[in-house]
Amino acid sequence: MTARVTLVEGDITAQQVDAVVNAASRRMRGGGGVDGAIHAAGGPEVLADCVRRFRDGLATGSAGWTTAGRMSARWVIHVVGPNWTRGERDRGLLTSCYSGALAVADELGARTVAFPLVSAGVYGWPRDDAIRAAVETLRATATDVEEARIVAFGRTAHDEVAAVLAG
């Protein structure tokens, strides 16, 4: 079966889900954007778990998990998206973030998972394609996850995702 793909506008760290997906950097030591927000909301437990589990970081396109610390979610599923602005333009690396996150969610027993638009921010992936990659992959990947929630940051992103979902 596949997950029901839903959409909300808001803060990914405030979602009432089993797991939130973090658009992490390869170093797995926190950063800006979604990564910084998740580390700030989750507190030092998230970073401590990253250091413990990912001593050498995480490869682009890969997924792994940590505690969610102080967030209401139980887990953070970290994915490392490709950095378009640095020449990482293999769409397969982007889609593997979504399918890999679903596979990790299945291993954990998570049934509700909140996703950001991976690589669509500071990593510069063209947003229209980042949205299509997210929706297509979440709709096509076999999983036990019941709800894959795309959390759009801002009204413009929400409306763009909504148009792809409706199409």
Q: What does the alpha-carbon distance between residue 20 and residue 148 come to, in Å, rounded to a whole number?
A: 10
Catalytic residue among 18, 35, 106, 144: 35
Q: What share of residues in the chain are helix, strand, coil (percent, to 5)?
A: 40, 20, 40
Long-range contact pairs involving 10-13 (C-beta distance under 8 Å, separation at least 24): 10/151, 10/152, 10/153, 11/37, 11/151, 11/153, 12/37, 12/38, 12/114, 12/116, 12/151, 12/153, 13/37, 13/38, 13/40, 13/41, 13/42, 13/71
In 39-164, the DSSP E strands lie at: 63-67, 75-79, 112-115, 147-152
Q: Is 18 a catalytic residue?
A: no
Residue 165 tokens read as 């979902």
What residues act catalytically? Answer: 35
